[in-house]
Structure 1
Amino acid sequence: MDYEKKEYPSVSVKNIDYDEEGFISKSKVDVNVSTAQRIDDRDIIISRIKESDDLEDILDDDADFIIDKLSGMEHEEAIEVLTYATSYFKGDMNFPLKTMEKIHSLLQGPEAYGLSYELYDLDLRLEASLIKYHSPYPEVRSVCSPIDDPTMQCETFRVYLIAGIWTAFAAFVNNMMYWRQPHFTLSSQVIQLLIHPCGQAYSKIMPNWRIGFGRFKFQLNPGPWTFKEQMLATIIANAGVSVATFIYYMPTMRMQMFYGETWMTYGFNTVMSLSCQLFGLGMAGVLRRWVIYPVKAVWPTILPTLQLNRTLLLPEKGQNINGWTISKYKLFNISLAVSFVYFFLPDYLFTALSTFNWPSWIAPNNNNVAMVMGSKAGVGVNPIATFDWSVINYSYPLIVPFYTILNRYAGTVIGAVIIIIMVYTNYHYTGYFPPNVATIYDRYGSTYNTSRVLTNGYFDVEKYRAYSPPFLSAGNLVLNGSEYALVTFGFLYVVIGEWSTIKEALIGFYKGLKERNSSNFESYRDPVSEMMKKYPEVPDWWFLVILVLSFVFGIIAVKCWDTQLPIGIFFAVMAITIALIFPSMILYAATGYMYTVYLLATLLGGYWVPGSGLACIFTRSFGYGMDEQGETYVGDQKMAHYAKIPPRAVFRGQIVATILQVLVSNASWEMLTNGFPDLCSLTQASKFTCPFAHTLYSQSLILGVVGPTRTFNTLYPVLKWAFLMGVGMVIPCLLLRRFFPKYLHYCQPVLILAGVGRYGSGYNLTYYTPGVFASMAFMYYIRRRYATWWAKYNYILSSGLTAGTAFSGILIFVALQYHPKSLSWWGNNVSSSNVDGENTATAFELPTTGWFGPANGTWM
């Protein structure tokens, strides 16, 4: 576009010094700017924005606000903002490289920038305005408004009523459906769709009576259903979307095919669940300064929920976006309807479309094909692995950043290579088992019979010597080794790399406890924190009280039931979890991936109570449950931060939701165990095969019953070295990232290492290859080529497809699978009628002696 040529007073940015990584040092920037004519014409600014591929996404809703702020920004202020940005966002993988390069160019002055002063000054102030008054991240700009209306009603009676109903419903359904493979859940997007019409109907039907007395008096129907009410209701109901984490461990402990501890009744489960859930809520408050308030804590996993709520309740401007004029609401409805109808094919009518292991159809009895390309027994090297959105969406390819998907996939490929090498070299006898199963085997090639090595629930050395040591499949061995290395590597790599952020937050937390009247937001200069200052904050000590209650419930559970746990181990697990959860959450907030810290807790149980598989599971449940629930509550609080929801309303809502979720989740588990006598069987007719329960059983057998001492010293000594290997990789990776920042900008070794362990529990490349293709299309190509289309439609498309699949899955289950109505034909049988589907593919036949491994009695 041609602009009128004018002469403008000169501008110079003197004495710019760069550090060794090429970033500008803020302290050495000397700005000398003379007064110049500014561009205040809105049409010219809009035209300039349209020319910039990395800025045109702001045209959708908030252009007027940004233009107003741009017009009032002084040149010196813009220089200061951008200089700070080069330091603060240095090394941030979510900060667009193209934007950072542009900022560097702007800070070198108009001559280096290559445009007239008029355009240079406009671009300078535009970039600075986005950072100071909105967000530097396109994905955040697409879902988060830079303005707030503090008068909008939020915490009302109808919010708690509607959210409470759907919290209970989601908790019931998700705790039931988790045990299916593939499982589906009522996601946040689905819950929003259920809440929205209820809120709208309530506002139109219910009378506006005043109920209650005194300070507890409220309006029954205060008017139209608002965006903030919708958001708060969604945040409350999200507690039901997540599985009550102690439920993860119930099948392994209670089912007869595993440990058969039938004394674990509803009361015990409730107390344990409250301990885990309240710990997560308490830690969420403690973690606020690390993963909620900082701008770099993007939280990609919550962005679709925000986008959908905006679509449902906020007005939308009609625009032509890359030839598309369809509204976000209409696109959502279309994608939901299409996925709802289509899911009947892969889930019921033609299930081979879901498990599309076509190489094994061609060679059904070929063990080599099944082990390399198989979707069940093998590692899943298959470029066309599925036509099922529930499988494609397993790694959230339209939500998490492309570099997250690619890094983890690289690790998954490395894991596949390692597994294949192990199998064909028969490393530690792994050639006698299918490569990718969670089953623990004995030396006769059969499933390990735990009862043969137990006496009164504890390990019996003589029985063990007479029977067999336990053996792991190659996938299971890789899973354990990578997780052990990840514990040490992930902790050290994140703590060292993000030490400045961690240190600053620690100082702020201490100051908040010491000076109760100080603001939690005083150290944060971003626009959201500035807007949140107007709302009463939740003091840190409120969350510390929740943590104390968590301790109380945990002690009651340990002391009043036969958990086989000494009380000291409970406190030790708590301490470990608190120490390790910080780097885990920092990584999750940036990448959408959270590495868990339960392994140290699991090992602690094995060492502290030798011979007890239950003790091992209990310590793991405390470690993982507290970690996972912390992620859930922190994510919801970040969502409230983006949506400008009053913090105390969120605190009250999460407490109510937690109690309701625990009560309903445990009720759903009781119904599940009573309604399915063959629950967790690999041949269960309704697909309730409980893959995690089998993985947990194998790990508790190795680290609990047999014990970590025998496992690490005799059976698999390589595993104990995994911890040290994790430590040894930290310094080389940090040095490589320091000296080659440009080439390794999007390389995240924690994610790569995490990808290596994506085996041993029924999942393999089949579940991740399709996601890479989808992410490459939407999160890489479309995001860069059609930025405005991506900002407007990407999250909505993901939400629609996921919601339609979930609704369809629920209908199919209730109508056709709860009481199975079989549909037997080639398209439903072909995936399982081969050595891959039957999990029988092995590289070697059993020796003629009928057994393998060390000689009798030598495995002690």
Structure 2
Amino acid sequence: MLEEDSRDGSIKMEFDFDAINEEDSPFPEVRASVSNIDDPEMPVMTLRMWVIGLMLSLIGGSLNVFFNFRQPAPTVSPLSLLIISYPIGKFFAFVLPIHTYRLPRWLGGLEFSLNPGPWNIKEHVLVYIMANVAIGPPYAINAIVVTQLNYHVRVDYWFSVLLVVATQLTGFGLAGLCRRFLVWPAGMVWPQNLVTCTLLNTLHAEDDETPGTITRYKYFLLVLTGSFFFFFIPGYLFQALSVFSWLCWIFPNNIPVNQLFGVSSGLGMSVLTFDWSQIAWIGSPLMFPWWAEAHIFVGFVLFFWITTPLLYYTNTWNLAYFPINDNNPYDRFGQYYNVSRVLDSSNHLNATAYNEYSPLYLPATYAMTYLLAFALSTCVLVHTALYHGRSLINGMKRMRVEPDDIHAKLMRNYPEVPDWWYIVFFVGFFLLMVVIVEVWHTTVPVWALLLAAFLPVLYVLPSGFIYAMTGQGISLNVLAQIIPGTLLPGNPIANMIFKAYAVQTLMEATSFVQDLKLGHYIKVPPRSTFLVQSVGTLLASFIQVGVKEWMFANVKDICQPNQPSDLTCPHNAVYFTASAVWGLIGPTRQFGPHSLYQPELYAIIVGAFLPLPFWLWQRRYPNSWVKFVSTPVILNGVSYIPPAAGINYSAWFATGFVFQYLVRKRNFAWWSKFNYVTSAALDSGTVLAAIVIFATLAFPRGGIYLNWWGNTVFENTADYNRVPLKTIPSGGIPLS
């Protein structure tokens, strides 16, 4: 078995003839990835862990906020920081003095050491946990930006940072209260953590390079360096390699060709791009299992390469008057929807002005996305009940009587976090949210805020339980817009804040629970995990809002369609469209009786019946391939459109096919050792290159741009200019 020695940090291989009788997890995948032994003397809350963890988390979080406003956008992944932190920790252990220091008695007399021994796996996993909860761009930033840019309401720094903190950390308190149901039971496997456990164990077992081989870290540096320098080609020197819509260059004015094969606003049937940030826009294709990639691509082809063109070219719902793929809503004159024309002085809907101006029209891919969201809302529940209902019921029963497995027993050696700590977090940050909505006069009533908090409380256990068991979570996205849209009609700002608080609380609760389970697997003291998660998230919130404030004060034309550095704010455009659909116009006007998009509501019924034929078929033929079909994954996998474009799926799948199917099948030894490292290196190198390009070439003194064919050919196409199939009639689309 693998065991890390706290004295020298190495991994010892031990064979025990009684191992067959050793207690271990009842789940084979856990036994294969997680050690069933622990060293309670291993240093954990070390000063170097805090320095490395906070440094990487704050830098990574800042970069991800920056790239949140870019399209396409590379991402600093927690896995990248896991690998980067390993040599930094080893370096600190090598150079820092081995000496014990004592604080003065008036400061408590605490003893500490800058170098308590070799860099170990528990310090390492705490750095990863801190990064995992702290580096993602806060969801509430979208609401802040849309409020400023689209609804022209001034938002100051303290409102922004307190809103981000409240939405981030309410979920933390909720997660801690659920750990007895979602963390301690052995049945809560959380398979996503098994990859991290495997990588951590192999990194700490690979201190010495075997002759004739290369370590993961050296390989990581080589790929990172290569991807760093290569990105300068599609990212600066020859940008047509990023927007590689070569058929559109040949037929620049052929609208159907540009819509089907285009990269900027098309459906991406050209497949090819040389830009990793395009390929990994929806997540690295090297990180998704092959079965999931196949499901997602089947859904993409079915709904966006077949159904969407059928709807578009038959002009269903007047779709052909608008670009086939866009992030923005339109009016009946073919222009971006001008919300200022339908707002009154209180930023609420003026119904008279709305009737005189225009209904809100959705581009084809946006209409398809909402149709799939309606279908998914019922499909995931029916699928879970049919395929996993018995397991869920048995699991619920076991959670009340299930004895501790070996991991839970080993964790009993450490003091548990009292429930009241988490209760203070949940209640405290909810009260902070109340203060925010009242002091800054956001028009969100306190009763609505109570309802926004109740939704994640209601869904956290079923969502977390289903996610831990089946990999399928429950999203509040549509529900968190329909409820305030119905109860607070015509109030887009209140709708956005309600949605941000409800959705982010559930998302953060799930993320925090997942990391609590990871700490459980690595045998990290629970109070150490608590401190790392809370401090990392709190500090990152201040820094991330600061980065957003700096960008909007200093970057010229940010969020404009032709921003030179591609800082076009795609996520904010999508958030604005949602606020207009659900908050301003409202679900009744947009999808209710006599509305243009009312037929989409039938997808709710279709979604409920969609899993049935596959379930019945696999019951009749248990060995059929149909048993592997997961309809929720097919529906949910394409939810990144918009803001993602077709190329982000087609190129993603092509790359995944190479690594996750061909390479894994034909050279499993290489794949198992280097696949995840390759993903992290490509992410890291691309992120570093994009930052260097922006800081040295694009931002200073108005920017330095190369004006030649390779950087302009794609701009002279119907794809780039988002040309619709049909021309708007004189006077606009007739109102029926």
Query: Is TM-score (shorter-chain normalized) higher than 0.5?
Result: yes
Q: In 2, distance between residues paired with 1:809 and 1:404? A: 29
CA distance in 2, matches of 1:542, 1:745: 44
| Partners of 1:480 and 1:757 within 8 A in 2 | no
Aligned-partner Cα distance in 2 for 1:450–1:623: 25
Q: Distance in 2 between matches of 1:179 and 1:365?
A: 30
Unaligned runs of 5+ in 2: 2-9
Are the structure 2 counterparts of residues 720 and 561 from structure 1 closer, same or farther at C-alpha, using a change threshold of 3 Å?
Answer: farther
SS at match of 1:209: strand
SS at match of 2:415: coil
In structure 1, C-alpha distance between the alignment counterparts of 2:302 and 2:387, rounded to whole Å: 25
Counterpart of 2:500 (choices 621, 627, 630) is 621
How many residues are paired up? 716
User: In 2, are the aligned partners of 1:275 and 1:550 still within 8 Å (CA)?
Assistant: yes
Instruction: Work out which of the residue numbers 160, 163, 185 in structure 2 matches 1:269.
Output: 160
Counterpart CA distance in 2 for 1:364 and 1:449 is: 30
Per-residue CA deviations over 1:125-163 (Å, capped at 9, x if unaligned) read xxxx9x94696339x84x644543222111123322332
- Residue 191 of structure 1 pairs with residue 81 of structure 2: yes
Residue 73, structure 1, aligned to residue 20, structure 2: yes
Q: Do the aligned partners of residues 270 and 198 (structure 1) sit closer, same or farther apart at CA in structure 2, a change above 3 Å counting?
A: same
Give 1:401 deviation, angstroms. Answer: 1.3
Deviation at 1:467? 1.2
AA partner of residue 568 (structure 2): T
1:728 matches 2:609: yes
Whole-Å separation in 1 of the counterparts to 2:243 and 2:187? 38
**Which residue does 2:715 correspond to in 1?**
832
Equivalent pair of 2:169/2:429 in contact (CA under 8 Å): yes
1:718 and 2:599 aligned: yes
Structure 1 residues 151-300: aligned runs within 5 Å: 151-192=41-82, 194-203=84-93, 204-206=95-97, 207-211=99-103, 213=105, 217-221=110-114, 222-255=116-149, 258-262=150-154, 264-288=155-179, 291-293=182-184, 299=190
Contact 1:686-1:817 within 8 A present in 2 as well = yes
CA distance in 2, matches of 1:839, 1:584: 39
Residues 579/804 of structure 1: CA separation in 2 closer, same or farther (3 Å cut): same
Structure 1 or 2, whichever has the larger Rg, is: 1
Residue 83 of structure 1: aligned partner: none
Give the letter for the 1:423 counterpart.
Y
Moved more, 622-631 or 193-202: 193-202
Deviation at 1:370, TM superposition (A): 1.1
Letter in 1 for 2:157: Y
- Tell me: CA distance 1:769–1:606, structure 2 relative to 1, closer, same or farther (3 Å): same
- For residues 367 and 676 of structure 2, what CA distance do their matches in structure 1 show? 37
> Could you say which residue in structure 1 is the equivalent of 2:5?
none
Contact 1:339 1:801 (8 Å CA) reproduced: yes
Shift, 1:307, TM fit: 5.3
Query: 1:590-739 alignment to 2 at 5 Å?
Result: 596-713=475-592, 714-739=595-620
Secondary structure at the aligned position of 1:598 is classed as coil
Shift of 1:705: 1.4
What does residue 275 of structure 2 align with?
A: 388
Q: Which amino acid aligns with 2:477?
A: Y
Deviation at 1:836, TM superposition (A): 0.3
Higher mean C-alpha displacement, 466-475 vs 479-488:
479-488
Corresponding position of 1:351? 239
Report the alpha carbon displacement of residue 313 of structure 1 after superposing the two structures with TM. Answer: 4.2
Q: Secondary structure at the match of 2:610?
A: helix
Letter paired with 2:20: M
1:815: how far off? 1.6
C-alpha spacing 1:823/1:303, structure 2 compared with 1 (3 Å): farther
Distance 1:781 1:184 in 2: 25
CA contact (8 A) 1:377 1:436 kept: yes
Structure 1 residue 364: Cα displacement: 0.8
Does the Cα contact within 8 Å between 1:189 and 1:304 map onto a contact in 2?
Answer: no
- Could you tell me how far apart the structure 1 residues matched to 2:355 and 2:628 are? 50
Q: What corresponds to 1:362 in structure 2?
A: 250
What's the CA shift string for 1:706-760, capped at 9, x where partnerless?
Answer: 111111222311233333333333555544454444323321111101135443x
Instruction: Give the Cα separation in 1 of the matches to 2:171 and 2:368.
Output: 29
User: Is residue 2:470 matched to residue 1:523?
Assistant: no
SS at match of 1:332: helix
Aligned match for 2:356, one of 443, 446, 466? 466
Aligned to 2:635: 753
Distance 1:337 1:145 in 2: 33
Q: Cα deviations across residues 40-77 of structure 1 (Å, max 9, x unaligned)?
A: xx9xxxxxxxxxxxxxxxxxx99955x636x6537xxx
Write the distance in 1 (CA, Å) between the matches of 2:474 and 2:20.
42
**Structure 1 residue aligned with 2:728, among 821, 842, 846?**
846
Distance 1:792 1:135, change over 3 A: farther
Structure 2 residue aligned with 1:377: 265
How far, CA to CA, are the matches of 2:523 and 2:162 in structure 1? 33
Aligned to 1:10: none
Aligned to 2:417: 538
C-alpha deviation, 1:439, in angstroms:
1.8
For 1:697, what is the secondary structure of its paired residue?
helix
CA shift in 2, pair 1:462/1:808, >3 Å? same
Q: In the TM superposition, what is the alpha-carbon distance from 1:601 to its structure 2 partner?
A: 1.0
Cross-structure match for 1:455:
344
Higher relative contact order (CA 8 A, sep 6+): 2
What secondary structure is seen at the aligned counterpart in 2 of 1:829?
helix
Question: Contact 2:62–2:135 (CA<8 Å) still a contact in 1?
Answer: no
Amino acid at match of 1:68: D
Over 3 Å counting, the alpha-carbon distance change for 1:579 and 1:831 in structure 2 is farther
Q: Distance in 2 between matches of 1:786 and 1:146?
A: 30
CA deviation map 1:174-233 (0-9, x unaligned): 212211111123222343455445434444234532225586713132233323212212
Are residue 137 (structure 1) and residue 17 (structure 2) matched?
A: no
Is the CA contact (8 Å cut-off) linking 1:270 and 1:666 kept in structure 2? yes
| Whole-angstrom distance in 2 between the partners of 1:791 and 1:289 | 33
User: Secondary structure in 1 aligned to 2:507?
Assistant: helix
RMSD: 3.0
SS at match of 2:125: helix
Letter in 1 for 2:524: I
Deviation, structure 1 residue 645: 1.7
The residue type equivalent to 1:337 in the other structure is T
Letter in 2 for 1:772: F
- Unaligned stretches of 5+ in structure 1? 1-41, 43-60, 75-128, 512-521, 856-860
Instruction: Work out whether residues 188 and 241 of structure 1, in 8 Å CA contact, stay in contact via their aligned partners in 2.
Output: yes
Q: 1:395 to 1:161 in 2, by over 3 A?
A: closer
Equivalent-residue separation in structure 2 for 1:697 and 1:254 (angstroms)? 11
Match of 1:49 in 2: none
When structure 1 is superposed on structure 2, of 639-648 and 311-320 the one drifting more is 311-320
Offset of residue 343 of structure 1: 1.4
Distance verdict in 2 for CA 1:641–1:845, change over 3 Å: same
CA distance in 2, matches of 1:569, 1:151: 49
SS class of match (2:478): helix
Query: What is the TM-score normalised by the length of structure 2?
Result: 0.89
1:125 maps to which residue?
none
Amino acid at match of 2:261: M
1:336 CA drift (Å):
1.5
Aligned to 1:793: 674
| Secondary structure class of the residue paired with 1:223 | coil
1:642 positional shift: 3.2
Q: Which 10-residue stretch deviates more, 581-590 or 799-808?
A: 581-590
Measured against aligned partners, the alpha-carbon deviations of 1:302-331 in whole angstroms (never above 9, x if no partner) come to: 5665555446544357669xxx73222222
CA shift in 2, pair 1:148/1:358, >3 Å:
farther
- SS of alignment partner, residue 159 of structure 1: helix
